[in-house]
Structure 1
Amino acid sequence: MKWFSISAWLFLTLSLLGCQSMAQSKTIGAGARVVNTVPGTSIVRASFNGQGMGGGGGEECCVSLPEQWRPGMTATIEWVKDPSPDVNPGGRRAPRWNPDGTTPPEWHRWMKEHEANYVRRRVTMAVPKYEKVSSLVLVFLPCDEVYPLIDSAEQGRVFGGLRGRSSQGWDDEVVRRLGGKTKCQR
């Protein structure tokens, strides 16, 4: 009888430990945005572990992030890049819309050709260590690199003191602060 009670206790203990190891870490909702530092391109859309966001640069709500960083944490980031916004191969610009705001058939044909030139990328990478979740900023760097910024102090280090977002110097300084490449190998 004693062995039965020890066996039952051991089974229960191991079962509870197994449940504990399967427990998901706590997550929190955070704003998300895209910052593109590559001149002459635009990010059409991006996702972080399947959670999508637009590429327009404004903060969106929300993505779910683990409340605490853990060693070995990875993320899959996917994005669609427009390598030549507003222009198709050969330099052809989009036809004008109709005066009433509707799109002519030529515009739809142009857009279909334009979207065929989009570049799709996917990378699974280690998530940089973070202490305090601020928001998720996916920073797109030259050479099809991406850097996920989550930590509030790190966001301050990268973006702090920068002025004039529209200047090329702003993009270059963000790339420098993140240790990104400026010359890509072909």
Structure 2
Amino acid sequence: MFVRTESLREFIRFYPLITFILLFQLVIFLATSLPFIPSREIFSLLAGVNLYIVEGELWRIVTPIFVHAGLAHLLFNSFSLVLFGPALERILGKGKFLFVYLLTGIAANIATLMLEPLTYTHVGSSGAIFGLFGFYIAITMFRKDLLSKENSQTILTIAVIGVVMTFFQANINITAHIFGLIAGFLTGRVILSK
């Protein structure tokens, strides 16, 4: 379930929404990185800056989900989405998957706004990625039939390692990770109870 064996063409066909998110993140990364366009201005316009959100720039609650600070940041979050997103896109369908991904990313950014200083700036999809982990945890608790015992143990182990590593890495939005995870779990609880 968490091992990718598809060809690129198969991946695109089976998981069109994840493919779109990956391409969108790449386009945003290029727009915020290439030297021959006003990349610094674009990055500044899309980053989550708590002060600007409070002053009315509400798009900054959503746009940071797709903006990354460097190639390594983009690759790590994209790799996580490629590994852990497809099973949920298949289980939930495209519409619900997009809803969960955006809702948990937005919840992580709102928590960051509420709990971090006004000067705090943040980017990255890790709040939404942790939201997927939270949703998987809800599956392991409330819909055991959707995941094998082995896959449930794998996702729980990775989620625990992810949470622990959150506190040992520099430049990590701890608030987004924790609240993305909580939002994913709560969203999973609601969706899976229907």
Give the shorter-chain TM-score range: under 0.3
Q: When the two structures are superposed, what TM-score results if normalisation uses the length of structure 2?
A: 0.23
Q: Give the number of the structure whose alpha-carbon radius of gyration is greater.
A: 1
Q: Which has the higher contact order (CA 8 A, sep 6+)?
A: 2
Question: Going by fraction, where is strand more abundant, 1 or 2?
Answer: 1
Question: Going by fraction, where is helix more abundant, 1 or 2?
Answer: 2
